[in-house]
């Protein structure tokens, strides 16, 4: 089954925060099975701006290069994904970027790897792997 990783999970992995082992395991499995995880470009942008804000440009560029080596496909946003995300934003209590992670999981019939409790709102609609 396909898997989507959100910014919460990826940042937990980089910071070695609680649950990072599950993200690490998902990355190893993705590499072994040659089935990359998916991440919305908006969620990548979240990781980038958080690292940029907290650690500066050099660290943000370093993290971007590391992400490029991981078995993660950064998925561009199109009209269909945006409309699906808009449905979540209109009717669920999720941040706009989180709506894209949920929409990407839904449209790809994928599991979403996260520790962000906001996703409890959509747990009946998409499979969540909690870290």
Tens-place pLDDT, residues 54-103: 999 999 999 999 999 999 999 999 999 999 999 999 999 999 999 999 99
Confidence band (pLDDT; 50, 70, 90) for 121? very high
Q: Domain containing 95 — which CATH number? A: 3.40.50.1010
Q: What is the 3-state secondary structure (H, E, C) of 38-56?
A: EEEHHHHHHHHHHHHHHHC
Q: 117, 128 in Cβ contact below 8 A?
A: no
**CB neighbourhood size of 70 (10 A):** 16
Strand pairing report for 37-40 and 72-75: parallel
Residue 33 lies in domain: 3-130
Number of domains in the chain: 1
């Amino acid at each position: 089954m396909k898997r989507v990783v959100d910014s919460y999970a990826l940042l937990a992995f980089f910071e070695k925060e609680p649950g990072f082992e599950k993200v690490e395991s998902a990355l190893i499995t993705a590499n072994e099975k040659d089935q990359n995880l998916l991440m919305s470009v908006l969620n990548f942008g979240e990781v980038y701006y958080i690292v940029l804000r907290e650690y500066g440009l050099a660290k943000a560029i370093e993290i971007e290069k590391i992400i490029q080596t991981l078995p993660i496909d950064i998925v561009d946003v199109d009209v269909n994904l945006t409309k699906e995300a808009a449905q979540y934003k209109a009717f669920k209590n999720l941040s706009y970027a989180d709506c894209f992670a949920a929409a990407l999981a839904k449209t790809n019939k994928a599991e979403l790897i996260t520790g962000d409790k906001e996703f409890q709102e959509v747990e009946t609609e998409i499979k969540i792997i909690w870290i």
